[in-house]
Amino acid sequence: MTLPRPHSCTWSDDEQRKGLQATASELRRGGPGPLKDKELYLWVTYPEPKGRKTKKSKKAGSPRKDLKLWAVLIIEDLKRIDAFTCQVTLRRIFKRDERWIKVWVSNDPGDQSDDAGVFGFVSPHPRLLTALERYLVHVAARRVYDAIAETWSDSEMAVRSVGR
């Protein structure tokens, strides 16, 4: 059996995000919380079998039609650990199999050094995950990381008002 080639990842709300231009204050107010129940889809293509020759015509279908859904990663839960850190519970679904993965994601505006900890696995150990699962977890963690960054200006405003 030939293995599929990863093609692209899309989020369940991609069309919504493109169609609706939310104001910056709405995004900051929501933070990472609205990401709960969002799904990340991994699309793949299957290579043609080696022994099979096909004629390519001008009317051949686009590669988009050959895409198959390979796996889905769902953000099941987000728990705030502190103002800029969340523990994220993910559920990876693959055919009839599923796995629960917990990670923490941090994006502290006060610590943007190169050695700042921004991501870590809680369970299971990363060696127990496939390379594909680790890739999907990193894509989901990046979205949470960006959502935390959207809350920065609200936090800076609160610190300034307290300092007065």
Q: Locate the domains of the chain by residue range.
A: 5-163
Q: Measured between alpha carbons, how far is 73 from 88 in angstroms, rounded to an integer? A: 12
Q: Measured between alpha carbons, how far is 152 from 163 in angstroms, rounded to an integer? A: 17
For 114, the token pair is 């190169």
| pLDDT, tens digit, 9 for 90 and up, residues 73-99 | 999 999 999 888 999 999 999 877 899
Confidence at residue 72, expressed as pLDDT on a 0 to 100 scale? 92
Give the residues of the chain that fall short of pLDDT 70: 1-2, 15-30, 49-65, 153-164
Kindly provide the b/e burial profile for residues 3-13, where b requires at least 16 CB atoms within 10 angstroms of the residue's own CB.
eeeebebebee
Give which of 103, 48, 44, 101 is closest to 71, Cα–Cα. Answer: 44
pTM across the whole model: 0.73
